[in-house]
Amino acid sequence: MEKEYFNFFLRIDEKEYLTSFQKGHMYMKPARSFREYTGNVPGVGDKNEGLKRIITDKKVTITITDDKGISITPQICGPIKFYTDGYYPILCLYHLKIKCHKMDEKYVVELPKDYLKNLSENRKDPGVLILLADAFLNKIRHYINKSQLGYAWGKIEYREIQPDESFEDASWRAYFRKDPKWAYQNEWRLLLGNSEKAQLIDESPTSRPYEFEIGDLSGFSKIIDLSFFEKQTTFTFNMKKE
């Protein structure tokens, strides 16, 4: 029996969105929405999403000079948190690297039980399992090259932000660091931004989700119910190479 490793992506959301996602419709919420989100799962909102700097002093003095030249020096009780711009559209996926067993033209996938147990306990929505991560990324890359937008993608680093640390020189980097309590997600994300060649993204405080098409994903994806994995951790699929 031949064994291969595959990089898988898992997108968890409402069924209606997942059906659209599987058809290639990408729906990317502004970064600020991840701080504000409450949804139907308590505690999912991340108050430190996009945190770029934190001042932990108990008291911080700031001098303000008004138009008459009068200086006012109030004291602010810390900690004080600074966030990067919240308009960047972000697409979040769970990343899994899984060993598959090839049987004739089918693949038997054995998913990590502990990982799925954590997901099913924290999320109750169904998911789309992307069986060929590289094929998915090629479609995303094709759209980015065509649109000429700026982008960053990769896995999240889970760690506490340091008091003397600052992401100000490259603010988008702040969206690739999250607090360790979210480490069970093993998250991968895509972030888009305007470039000198393309100004397609609304950067206003009231910007709406950014949407675009990348083409059908149904040949290498499967809609699943996370509760399925509470009873078993394997399934078989036919995979269409692209």
Kindly report, residue by residue over 53-107, the tens digit of the pLDDT. Answer: 777 665 555 566 667 666 666 555 567 777 787 788 999 998 877 766 666 666 6
> Taking the model in full, what pTM does it have?
0.77
Mean pLDDT, the chain, integer = 78
Split into its structural domains, the chain has a count of 1
CA distance 85 to 203: 9
Q: What would the pLDDT profile of 104-155 be if each residue is shown by its tens digit?
A: 666 677 666 666 666 656 566 677 888 778 899 999 999 999 999 999 999 9
The residue-averaged pLDDT of 42-51 equals: 72
Domain hosting residue 26, numbered range: 2-238
In 3D, which of 35, 39, 78 has the Cα closest to residue 178?
A: 35
Please state, in angstroms and rounded to a whole number, the distance separating the CA atoms of residues 113 and 41: 22
Kindly state the tokens that stand for 112.
């990590």
pLDDT value of position 154: 93
Mean pLDDT: which of 8-22, 23-37, 102-116, 142-156 is highest? Answer: 142-156
